[in-house]
Amino acid sequence: MQALTNLDKLAEPAAFPRWLRGIVVRLLSQRLRRFAILRRLGFGGSPQDFDFATVIAPAAPVEIRAEIHDLYRHLETLPTDQRMALSLSRIEGMTNEEVAEVMQVSLATVKRKLSAALETLEKAGES
């Protein structure tokens, strides 16, 4: 809805996909932050509430299913901005430059967020 109400602000029609992607990323970021706050207050769900059947084939080996469950549990612990940068880069396949553009941060900030997120996940994987 926000995209439709602000469509008249788009000066260059060729920029529409990038513009719309930016709106979606900002809205998702706001929702993730709100969910994190609610979860800290005891009103949100937990990683155990996530339906893993939507991201992994039922025929996958038990070890793989356990690893994916652990990965999602650790992703939940990342700050929203790190999780967003990591998801856009590693899951959506965006370049760091594209991530910086849609998150409206510098390229250096994206690199720092990705590095911190990966470091956190590596440490979590060692434990």
* pLDDT, tens digit, 9 for 90 and up, residues 65-111: 787 777 777 888 888 889 889 888 887 888 999 899 888 899 999 99
CATH class of 2-45+77-126: mainly alpha
DSSP H or E segment with residue 81: helix 80-86
Whole-number pLDDT of residue 111: 97
DSSP H or E segment with residue 108: helix 107-126
d(CA 36, CA 46): 10
pLDDT(21) > 90: no
Q: Cα torsion at 30, 52, 92, 29 (round to 10°)?
A: 0
d(CA 69, CA 86): 17
Is this structure's pTM higher than 0.85?
A: no
Give tens-digit pLDDT for 22-69: 777 777 776 766 766 666 666 665 544 556 566 667 787 888 778 777
d(CA 122, CA 42): 28
Give Rg (Cα) of the chain: 17
d(CA 121, CA 96): 19
78: tokens are: 């990342």
